[in-house]
Amino acid sequence: MENILQYIVSGLSTGSLYALVALGVVLIYRANRVLNFAHGDVTTLGAFLAIALVAMGLPWWLAFLLAILGGALASMFFYFSVLIPAQRREASHLGQLILTLGFGLLAQSGVLIFGNLETRVFDFPLSDSVIYEWGGVVISELSIGILVTTAIATILFFLLVQKTSLGLAMRASSENLPAAQTLGIPTRPVLALSWGLASALGVLAGLFLAALLFLDPTFMLESFLKGFAAAILGGLNSLPGAIVGGLILGLAESLAGAFISVAFKNTLAFIIIIVVLLFRPEGLLGKEFIERV
């Protein structure tokens, strides 16, 4: 039982990565009412871009910054060039969802064509094997980096959304688009910025996940699906819910892996999705109402 603190810490660390991914998903869902199925693929693109830039000799912080920016720009470009014309032609929600799937396929192809495909270890400045021990809990430098970076990113994100006028514009556009347009808010750039911000958060999470897992073209698939699970758990409409959902999912996975079995750990996320959607589709902190037949 003395290990439980260990499991909690490592669960929180993975959970904060799920929270970052979930935050990106929820941000886009609130803005456009569309699930972004390209999130995982854009993140993979960003991670491969980071590796390519590092291989070209750039210092790691610059490479990461450019990779995050690159991912954000790719998403914004997609929004402007594909999604806006689709919305102008009144595409259904299913149609927009499939368009994001198409964008995801394009990002995947970009990785496959331009990326170096051998599975390899991502050189990350914070190493996984340098560990500190503190009160009986062993924690690696990488995990500390994850927790600290996620905390900073989340705080900055919330300051942006709650305290700045851009954040106010983003919240207004997602709550009621025609009203925001009437008030003079330039909704297209603002929504494009939310897409870019969501992808930036995703790429940030992806860089850490690439260090944790091995880097190959499909490394984000499972984490992306778990990010979805976390977003559903917290409520697709609620930004704090994404964070809470991510942390809870990480903790639950870690504890389930410890006390039940490792195999169950991976299935847990999807069982949570099904259970939550059957009994409380709004999620823990969400407020949308659901019709019944």
Binding site for another protein (CB under 8 A): 29, 33-35, 82, 85-86, 89, 91, 93-95, 97-99, 101-106, 108-113, 117, 218, 221, 225, 228-229, 232, 236, 263-264, 266-267, 270-271, 273-274, 277-278, 281, 290-293
Give CA–CA dist 24/49, Å, rounded. Answer: 19
For another protein, which is the closer residue by CB, 101 or 258? 101
Could you tell me which of 40, 70, 44, 76 has the C-alpha nearest to residue 58? 70
Q: How far is the CB of 44 from another protein (least distance, A)?
A: 12
For another protein, which is the closer residue by CB, 204 or 248? 248
Q: Please tell me whether residue 120 adopts helix, strand or coil conformation.
A: strand
Q: How far is the CB of 131 from another protein (least distance, A)?
A: 29
Q: How far is the CB of 7 from another protein (least distance, A)?
A: 20
For another protein, which is the closer residue by CB, 12 or 45? 45
Q: Under a CB-based contact definition with an 8 Å cutoff, are residues 21 and 230 in contact?
A: yes
Which residue bears the tokens 């009160």?
Answer: 135
For another protein, which is the closer residue by CB, 240 or 281? 281
How is 61-106 classified by DSSP, letter by letter? HHHHHHHHHHHHHHHHHHIIIIIHHHHHTT--HHHHHHHHHHHHHH
For another protein, which is the closer residue by CB, 166 or 225? 225
Tokens of 106: 């394009």
Q: How far is the CB of 274 from another protein (least distance, A)?
A: 5
Q: How far is the CB of 40 from another protein (least distance, A)?
A: 10
**What φ, ψ does residue 188 adopt, rounded to 5°?**
-65, -50
Could you tell me how many residues make up the chain? 293
Q: Which helix (H) or strand (E) holds 178?
A: helix 177-182
For another protein, which is the closer residue by CB, 77 or 158? 77
Q: How far is the CB of 168 from another protein (least distance, A)?
A: 26
Give CA–CA dist 221/70, Å, rounded. Answer: 20
Q: Under a CB-based contact definition with an 8 Å cutoff, are residues 283 and 233 in contact?
A: yes
Cα Rg of the chain, angstroms: 19
For another protein, which is the closer residue by CB, 107 or 146? 107
Amino acid at 199: S
Q: How far is the CB of 191 from another protein (least distance, A)?
A: 17
